[in-house]
Chain A
């Protein structure tokens, strides 16, 4: 077929118009910045032909709330059928990996195993397992999913849920006994966040110099269905950091730890991997920093105007927020995946 021959020719000549060059920071400096080109037509075919792995953010990319974005399940189905490895990389710390596979299945996406899902809750537990001495526990500002991931990683913890208050006033709370085994404070999404819990976190952090402070992510807002939003984990992390006058180690995007988790589970070649996301300051920044090809979808948070603003700026930090490509929605990949 003509299309197939076309693809072959592009591959054969190496650096054709649609070929995604290797992305390293030196390469970036040399090419002078990413171009955020629309991914369509021959470019799309060539780019997709040359990747093994696609990493997907979930909220605003695959679904919004409980509704799959139109065409997304079909696009991923085609990618899977074409032999691509699909992984899911999300900052949302409110679900376990198993819960994500359930949601993917429920919304019609190709079957995924827990090992393909990298949520910030799972990765935070992973990090603590590496960073804590055996038997050390974590004081957790977070919900049941974070607790479940810690349990699965064999890390003792306390804290989730409403604060258990030994009295009505802060003076009482400051007298409650501290658990001697705690050597880390972990901050994730916590709808039971309160001043009392913030107090406890501060007490643990000040008790010893080697108490770790870890945050799942810095997202400042969690979008809800219908366009509204609630405060994100980033707000809680900032409250703890301010009170403790120290910086947290952040596991989630745009920091690279979450990508390192993916790379340690699978044989990832950054030059043959695409990061697909809807947020410039998390998904795209992480992808660019880790040397991946980055694809912005416009079905979520970030807009093309923002991208153009960053492209036109002189600031190198803002340049790192520019993706290689964009699509209106990942359904736009379907034509490139037709046989």
Chain B
């Protein structure tokens, strides 16, 4: 089991020294709301100068990767391009493309039709993947191939009903962008996450969703496909034990918990003290107070 050690000094230099690249979660790691975590942009710059790769893996399904690229820039991070960013929106679209279009409809039937419960960012990624969006309130005889549940702040009973009608056909996939039950707001409050909406759809339809986001490993498969990373030389940096750290464990990555986001150190220690194997999988190898603490581990 991982030992949740504070990462500093010689250990820090050694861990970073041997890493080829780092995967970063975004919310609560690089930024909180509209503010970058102090010195986080400097860390990314230093990583780049040290020849280490930095890639980004986020469960947030609100934004397209193009929007995220702009966000990075706006918050002071330089040199982050859309191709470095793996959001659950993008990866869900890739997942659907893989499952709905790879068969190749020899009969010339319509391309994969997807009913998306989510915002414009998510819908755009699905469209860009070559899939066809089913409209709200649409009532046709044409088959719907998948229902995709993402962060949907316009979620309604009517949309829930529409999704369930499609899911009565067992061939229609039920996919969720991520399992997060809630997300923190900058004032300490919480806003419901995709996980809560997925629970409603699962209960109504009697089906279990395929979840694309962390802690499941599909997003890592997308990263490996595009960049070919070596798990034994890659570190996962995140703020949420149940998603980021467990994701790292599932992908055989060493993990670093940063304390600028959701999870508290006490929670990590509680998992460490637990008897359950599932709990132990959520213990990070290391922790830092903020990712700024990683800077001393890099060469000048």
Which residues from A are CB-within-8-Å of B201? 235
- The answer to whether A243 and B182 touch across the interface, beta carbons within 8 angstroms, is yes
Which residues from A are CB-within-8-Å of B66? none
Cβ-based interface call for A230 (8 A): yes
1/0 per residue A165-192: CB within 8 Å of B?
0000111001000000000000000111
Identify the stretch in A1-9, A93-101, A121-129, A193-201 within 8 Å (CB) of chain B at 4 or more residues.
Answer: A193-201
Rounded to whole angstroms, the CA-CA distance of A193 and B161 in the bound complex is 11
- Distance from A139 Cβ to chain B, minimum over Cβ atoms (Å): 15
B202 and chain A: residue at smallest CB distance: A238
Knowing A206-B190, A231-B164, A235-B160, say if A195 contacts B200 (CB, 8 Å): no
Cβ-based interface call for B36 (8 A): no
- The answer to whether A236 and B191 touch across the interface, beta carbons within 8 angstroms, is no
Give the number of chain B interface residues (Cβ < 8 Å).
Answer: 29
Knowing A231-B164, A235-B203, say if A193 contacts B157 (CB, 8 Å): yes
Q: Which of B154, B157, B181, B193 is A231 in contact with, Cβ under 8 Å?
A: B157
Q: Which of A174, A199, A231 is B160 in contact with, Cβ under 8 Å?
A: A231
Rounded to whole angstroms, the CA-CA distance of A170 and B192 in the bound complex is 10
Which residues from A are CB-within-8-Å of B195? 242-243
Most B CB atoms within 10 A — which of A238, A240, A241?
Answer: A238
Knowing A198-B196, A243-B196, say if A174 contacts B185 (CB, 8 Å): yes
- The answer to whether B191 and A239 touch across the interface, beta carbons within 8 angstroms, is no
| Residues in A179-228 with C-beta less than 8 Å from chain B | 190-196, 198-199, 202-203, 206, 220-221
A234 and chain B: residue at smallest CB distance: B203
Cβ-based interface call for B156 (8 A): yes
- Distance from A295 Cβ to chain B, minimum over Cβ atoms (Å): 26
Which residues from B are CB-within-8-Å of A339? none
| Residues in B55-83 with C-beta less than 8 Å from chain A | none
- The answer to whether B196 and A240 touch across the interface, beta carbons within 8 angstroms, is yes
- The answer to whether B204 and A243 touch across the interface, beta carbons within 8 angstroms, is no
1/0 per residue B181-215: CB within 8 Å of A?
11001010111110111011111101000000000
| Residues in B233-286 with C-beta less than 8 Å from chain A | none
Knowing A202-B192, A203-B189, say if A170 contacts B153 (CB, 8 Å): yes
Which residues from A are CB-within-8-Å of B181? 242-243, 245
Which residues from A are CB-within-8-Å of B227? none
B163 and chain A: residue at smallest CB distance: A231
Q: Which of B158, B182, B204 is A202 in contact with, Cβ under 8 Å?
A: B182
| Residues in B71-124 with C-beta less than 8 Å from chain A | none
A201 and chain B: residue at smallest CB distance: B192
A205 and chain B: residue at smallest CB distance: B190
Which residues from A are CB-within-8-Å of B199? 235, 238-239, 241-242
Which residues from B are CB-within-8-Å of A174? 185, 187, 189, 191
B197 and chain A: residue at smallest CB distance: A239
- The answer to whether A194 and B157 touch across the interface, beta carbons within 8 angstroms, is yes
Q: Which of B154, B161, B202 is A195 in contact with, Cβ under 8 Å?
A: B154
- The answer to whether B206 and A220 touch across the interface, beta carbons within 8 angstroms, is yes
Rounded to whole angstroms, the CA-CA distance of A241 and B181 in the bound complex is 9
Rounded to whole angstroms, the CA-CA distance of A203 and B190 in the bound complex is 7
- The answer to whether B200 and A238 touch across the interface, beta carbons within 8 angstroms, is yes
Which residues from B are CB-within-8-Å of A194? 154-157
- The answer to whether B153 and A195 touch across the interface, beta carbons within 8 angstroms, is yes
Q: Which 10 A-B pairs have the closest CB atoms?
A: A231-B204, A243-B192, A243-B196, A242-B196, A235-B200, A239-B200, A195-B155, A242-B199, A235-B203, A238-B199
17 additional A-B residue pairs with CB within 8 Å, beyond A202-B190, A231-B203: A170-B153, A174-B187, A192-B157, A193-B160, A194-B157, A202-B182, A206-B190, A229-B164, A231-B164, A231-B204, A235-B199, A235-B204, A239-B200, A240-B196, A242-B181, A243-B182, A245-B181
A-B contact pairs, 30 of them (CB 8 A): A169-B153, A170-B191, A174-B187, A174-B189, A174-B191, A191-B157, A192-B156, A194-B155, A194-B156, A195-B154, A195-B155, A195-B156, A195-B197, A198-B155, A198-B192, A199-B191, A202-B190, A203-B189, A206-B190, A221-B204, A230-B161, A231-B161, A235-B160, A235-B203, A238-B203, A239-B196, A241-B199, A243-B182, A243-B196, A245-B182
